[in-house]
Every structure is written in C-alpha cells, then in structure tokens.
Amino acid sequence: MDTLVTKKLSKHFGGIKAVDGVSISVKKKTITALIGPNGSGKTTLFNLISGFYGPDEGKVFFLDKDITNLKSYQIANKGLVRTFQLVRIFRNLSVIENMLVAPKRNYGDSFIKSIINFKKSIQEEKESYNYAIELLDLLELPHMKDEYAGNLSGGQFKLLSIGMALMRDPEILLLDEPVAGVNPTLANKIFDILINCRDKFNKTFLIIEHNMDVVLDFSDLIYVMNRGKIIAEGPPEAIFSNRGVIDAYLGAD
Ligand SMILES: Nc1ncnc2c1ncn2[C@@H]1O[C@H](COP(=O)(O)OP(=O)(O)O)[C@@H](O)[C@H]1O
Ligand SMILES: [Mg+2]
C-alpha cells in the first residue's frame, strides 16, 4: 500500500488549469520530490492534497482511505501534515518549549476523556518530552534545547520548524521548499537530517524543491510538473537525462 495516492486531481482558477489531471503515488519511507518551473502547479497540488483547496475533479487517498472531502485539520490529525514556509515559532520561548507547544496529533480522544484520564496524560507528557529530546538530537539541536528560539540561526530555525511538525508524529510530511534561501552546506545538512528521519522514524516525505543538487542527491523518486501536468517520473538519474524535463526548465527561463 502506498502512503499517498492522487488520482487525476484537477484544480482550475478561472481559465488557468493550475493542476490538470495529476496522478502520483508516494511510497512509504521514501523521500519523493516534486519539481517543476515556477507556476507549474506544485503548491496548488499540495493545497489539494492537504485539504486547503477542494479539487474540481479527482481523488486523494491516504493509507488507502479516501480523504478527498476532509477538512485540512482532519487530514492533519490522520497523519498527513503539511508545513508552510512560515511556521509559528515563539521567539521568546525556549527551543524545547516550542517543541512541546507544537500541535499534537489528536487521535480522537474527547476533551472530557482526556481530563478524566489525568494519569494517562502525565504519561503522555513524559513521552512527548522524550520524543522532543530524541528529535532535537536528530536535528542536531540538543545543545540549543534551553536557548530562546529567537537566538537560533536561520538554519537552526528551519530545523526547529521541521521538528515542530514532526511532534505531530505524522505518517507523511509535505515540505514546500524547505531549503529555499539556505546555503548549500546547510541545505545538504538539512536533507541528511531528513534522510535520518526517514530511516530512524520510518517517516515519508513529499518535498517541493528547487535546488536540483539536493533533489539529485537525496530523493528516492522524482515527479516533474509543467503547466499543471506530470511530465516525467522516475529516479534522479533518469529524470536528469530526460529531454522533456530539460526543455521544461529551459523553456521557463
Ligand atoms: N489562489 C489562486 N488563485 C488564482 N490563481 C492561482 C491561485 N493559486 C495558484 N494560482 C495560479 O496557478 C498556477 C500554479 O501556481 P502554483 O501552484 O503556485 O505553482 P508553483 O508552486 O509550481 O510555483 C499559477 O499560474 C498561479 O498563478
Ligand atoms: Mg510554489
């Protein structure tokens, strides 16, 4: 079973076919990249998958369940989480505090039940603290645990935002240009960390990325979009020797 499947998704804005019959499959424990020139429909596809827009046509399946008509918060609670370029980080809270106030996955317990089940909630708090510590290790931020988030460098700030999304314990994380504006060394480091996260926590990633070097080095499978359609799919080596892909990029300049 693939973690995420879209079937012929379409979204039009007036006369623009932003997403035009897109079918993709994301396998569990992969880093799947979505690339394509500006305006090719990548972010709109993310909005459709994560329930921020309803599609005009087509369906989205998450772990074999049809989630096409669910609201974005329902989808996030099921474990399909999307981070935005801008994440709410409290600069005057410490790194660990930010991790602990990040929204948790609501597995369906009622509010009343969670109050009555006080012991359980203390246990859960301990577990969530331990998980936060484990994630900070993975993100190479353990030494920054008690530092104000406002004192982090730009790269550490990005890592913290990824960590906060991981606090939800998502099955799949959708990242829209996670290393935009980041220097190559740091971009590589962030992707190394995502690889560790895939391997150690069995996480799955669907990532929109402009930086071709990291896409080539770190992704398991690549989908290429152009003018709302998927024009190529395959492993990195195949994609970067594909004439249609090269033309789409050259044509965009
Ligand atoms: N909310 C919107 N309203 C109208 N047009 C939109 C909207 N969102 C995206 N578009 C248009 O859809 C196309 C695809 O945009 P987008 O998905 O942001 O592309 P990408 O993320 O690949 O750069 C563009 O032509 C864009 O102008
Ligand atoms: Mg975009």
Domain residue limits, the chain: 1-79+170-253, 88-169
- pLDDT tens per residue across span 199-249: 999 999 999 998 888 998 999 999 999 999 999 999 999 998 888 887 877
Strands 31-35, 16-26: pairing kind: unpaired
The CA distance from 224 to 231, in Å, is: 6
pLDDT at 168: 86
User: Does the beta carbon of 13 lie inside 6 Å of ligand 1?
Assistant: yes
**Nearest Cα residue to atom 17 of ligand 1:** 41
Pocket test for ligand 1, best of 16, 17, 56, 225 (most atoms within 8 A of CB): 16
User: Which pTM value belongs to this model?
Assistant: 0.90
* Residue that the structure tokens 């995502």 belong to: 194
User: Does the beta carbon of 39 lie inside 6 Å of ligand 1?
Assistant: yes
Residue 227: strand, helix, or coil: coil
pLDDT at 108: 56
Q: Could you tell me which CATH number the domain at 1-79+170-253 has?
A: 3.40.50.300
pLDDT at 220: 97
| Ligand that lies nearest to the alpha carbon of residue 48, given by its number in the listed order | 1
Pocket test for ligand 1, best of 9, 43, 44 (most atoms within 8 A of CB): 44
Cβ contact 190:182 at 8 Å: yes
Mean pLDDT throughout 44-59? Answer: 97
Mean pLDDT throughout 151-156? Answer: 91
- Report CA 25 to chain centroid distance, whole Å: 15
User: Does the beta carbon of 85 lie inside 6 Å of ligand 1?
Assistant: no
CB atoms within 10 A of CB 14: 6
| Ligand that lies nearest to the alpha carbon of residue 177, given by its number in the listed order | 2
10 Å CB burial of residue 45 (0-12, 13-18, 19+) is buried
Mean model confidence pLDDT for the chain = 90
> Residue 85's pLDDT band (boundaries 50, 70, 90)?
very low
Q: Please give the distance, rounded to the nearest whole angstrom, from the Cα atom of residue 11 to the centre of ligand 1.
A: 10
User: Does the beta carbon of 15 lie inside 6 Å of ligand 1?
Assistant: no
User: Does the beta carbon of 38 lie inside 6 Å of ligand 1?
Assistant: yes
CATH architecture of 88-169: 3-Layer(aba) Sandwich (3.40)
User: Does the beta carbon of 44 lie inside 6 Å of ligand 1?
Assistant: yes
The CA distance from 197 to 138, in Å, is: 7
User: Does the beta carbon of 16 lie inside 6 Å of ligand 1?
Assistant: yes
CA distances from 73 to 34, 67, 194, 204 (A): 23, 12, 24, 19
Nearest to 107 by CA among 82, 124, 119: 124
10 Å CB burial of residue 42 (0-12, 13-18, 19+) is buried
Cβ contact 52:45 at 8 Å: no
User: Does the beta carbon of 198 lie inside 6 Å of ligand 1?
Assistant: no
Pocket test for ligand 1, best of 9, 11, 12, 13 (most atoms within 8 A of CB): 13
Q: Look at the alpha carbons of 68, 72, 77, 83 in this order and tell me if their dihedral is positive or negative.
A: positive
Same fold, 1-79+170-253 and 88-169: yes
User: Does the beta carbon of 43 lie inside 6 Å of ligand 1?
Assistant: yes
The CA distance from 242 to 239, in Å, is: 5
